[in-house]
Amino acid sequence: MNAMSSSPPRAPAGASPVTGLGRVAARLALVAVAAGLLAGCSLGPDYRRPDQEIPAAYRASAATEAQAWPSPEWWRGFRSPELDRLIAEARAANFDIAAAIARVRQADAQLRIAGAGLLPTLDATGSAQWQRTGLRTGSNRLTSSSGNSAIETRSYAVGLNAAYDIDFWGSARATRSSAAALALFSRFDQETVALTVVSNVATTWFTALAYADRLAVARRNLADAEQTLAVIRGRFAAGTANALDVAQQESQVAIERAVIPNLQNQMEQQVIGLGILIGRPPEAVTVQPGTLDTLALPEVAPGLPSTLLERRPDIASAEAQLVAQNFNIQVARAAFFPTIQLTSSAGYQAAALNQLVGPGGMLLSLAAGLTQPIFDGGTLRGQLDLSKAEYAEYLANYRKAVVQAFTDVDLALTAWRFTSEQEKLQREAVARAQRAADIARAQLQAGTVDITTVLTAETTLFNAEDTLVQVRLSRFQALLSLYKALGGGWERPAGAIPDLVPPLDPGQVLGGVALPVGGNLR
């Protein structure tokens, strides 16, 4: 076995290779120290929460009203076991929630990838090479072009290569912080999705109950109309009513009977719609709507608008995006400045495996490189301008989210106030319509009024009862909107991400996923 013809460069006479490399390492260490001193430099600006106009009190509530925030399981206040079960199924199997959880995992992976830029890379290498010049075929011996006999060479090498980009300008730290903010965004977005899903389940269920109530009203009024028709037919047989009276009441019965299929259809549509919300096919939805009248209406009050910013996950999501883009601007600024990379390698190389590991086969190298952008056709300037423009977009989105939150609360409070008043008045209207219908039917049996009076009273009663159910549904929907507008019992964890003020509590869990914070963010 012949050794390789090439060999690593020798150190000057009287000098040890290790000593020469030590001087190089010392110089590189000085560069690293200088880099460490400059690494504290920031390309800013540091993030500050944007100024926002916050009202002193809500338009639709008194400034002195005591707050009563929703609990995290606010839907249990309606005291509907079926609703509790549906929401539990939705939180466990809803497709939108599952997708949001997957986005959290993606963001966590991106955070780990971004954090890797702050650490050196280390690779292991190994190689084996065999080479032969000249060939031997049978008894004939071929020679190389130089006339020498065939030559075999073998070479074996193993080693480690390391590289480290010095984060002079904080670009890697800003990239990691941006990824950390986006990881928080994904968690806040998951909470927003979950709140939306829960609200949609409740809205769909209450709507199904309302259609069941309207269906009960329609059937009850149909039974009353059929009973009146029987009375009129009896009077017609006795000669005290005419054919027109019979025809008019038959028409009323037919009208009220025709309403029932549409209400049944609407009720079934709502029950079928529950399937996609709970993540199951419609055939698996087995609930049967009951009535809104048996449900409770829990009280909730918003308190002061200034506390709303910490109660809405969508506001937290918008701010997390704003924070991430603030760091992206720092990354874009850092791209204008030089980058320095340290590289090193160490290993062994020999012509035989049994000689591979030994002082004679040891290889060491250290190097430093610097790259400074000089001309890029405006790419870096364009990237910086793009980052600033995106920040302006996210700033507008954040401010819109804040104003939208105040708007949602005021809209829900207003709807709750007036639907509560309307339901009270509508109940009085139903009571009066019921009394009028009872008197009209009694007088019809006594023969003191004509069928027109009865028809008018029945129609008024039917419309009043049907309207009452719709008003009660509107009141439930207003309360649901208020719960959602107040964040559904969610409360923002103390702080945000590293490099922001203040940091999250270590090990804070959001949406069932633990987020590493503080010095553990990589």
Give the phi and the psi of residue 63 in degrees, each rounded to 5: -65, -25
| pLDDT in the model for residue 156 | 86
| pLDDT in the model for residue 150 | 74
pLDDT at 187 over 80: yes
State how far the Cα of 194 lies from the Cα of 206, in Å rounded to an integer.
Answer: 18
Dihedral of CA atoms 222, 226, 228, 234 in degrees, nearest 10, equals 180
Contacts with 139 (C-beta within 8 Å, 6 or more apart), sequence order: none
Digit-coded pLDDT (tens) for 224-237 = 999 989 988 998 99
State how far the Cα of 402 lies from the Cα of 408, in Å rounded to an integer.
Answer: 10
Question: 């504290």: which residue's tokens?
Answer: 40
Q: Rounded to two decimals, what is the model's pTM?
A: 0.80
Rounded average pLDDT over 415-440: 95
Contact 86, 273 (CB under 8 A): no
| pLDDT in the model for residue 153 | 85
pLDDT at 501 over 50: no
More confidently predicted of 196 and 27: 196
pLDDT at 177 over 60: yes
Rounded average pLDDT over 171-196: 94
Q: Rounded to 5, what percent of the chain is helix, strand, coil?
A: 60, 10, 30
More confidently predicted of 492 and 2: 492
Q: How many CA atoms lie within 13 A of 82 on its CB side?
A: 18
Give the phi and the psi of residue 303 in degrees, each rounded to 5: 70, -140
Digit-coded pLDDT (tens) for 372-422 = 999 999 999 999 999 999 999 999 999 999 999 999 999 999 999 999 999
| Domain assignment present for 253 | yes
| Domain assignment present for 304 | no
| pLDDT in the model for residue 64 | 61
Strand partners, 164: 342
Give the SS3 label for residue 7: coil
| Domain assignment present for 314 | no
Digit-coded pLDDT (tens) for 137-157 = 555 555 545 555 678 888 888
As a three-state string, the secondary structure of 391-436 is HHHHHHHHHHHHHHHHHHHHHHHHHHHHHHHHHHHHHHHHHHHHHH
Q: Is cis: bond before 503, omega within 30 of 0?
A: no
Burial of 303 (0-12, 13-18, 19+ CB in 10 A): middle
State how far the Cα of 388 lies from the Cα of 390, in Å rounded to an integer.
Answer: 5
Query: If pLDDT is split at 50, 70 and 90, which confidence band does 363 have?
Result: confident
| Domain assignment present for 307 | no
* Residue 297 vs residues 193, 198, 417: alpha-carbon distances, Å: 24, 17, 13
Q: List the domain range (segments joined by +) for residue 211.
A: 17-47+59-135+153-296+322-520
| pLDDT in the model for residue 148 | 56
Pull the structure tokens for residue 195: 């709140």
Query: If pLDDT is split at 50, 70 and 90, which confidence band does 56 have?
Result: confident
Count of domains observed in the chain = 1
Contact 319, 309 (CB under 8 A): no
Digit-coded pLDDT (tens) for 95-121 = 999 999 999 999 999 999 999 988 999
CATH of the domain at 345: 1.20.1600.10
> What percent of the chain shows pLDDT beyond 90?
56
| Domain assignment present for 305 | no
Contact 346, 159 (CB under 8 A): yes
State how far the Cα of 149 lies from the Cα of 136, in Å rounded to an integer.
Answer: 9
State how far the Cα of 324 lies from the Cα of 193, in Å rounded to an integer.
Answer: 21
Give the phi and the psi of residue 131 in degrees, each rounded to 5: -140, 140
Question: 């209406």: which residue's tokens?
Answer: 297
Give the phi and the psi of residue 207 in degrees, each rounded to 5: -65, -40
pLDDT at 14 over 60: no
| pLDDT in the model for residue 305 | 87
Digit-coded pLDDT (tens) for 263-306 = 999 999 999 999 999 999 999 998 889 999 999 999 888 878 88
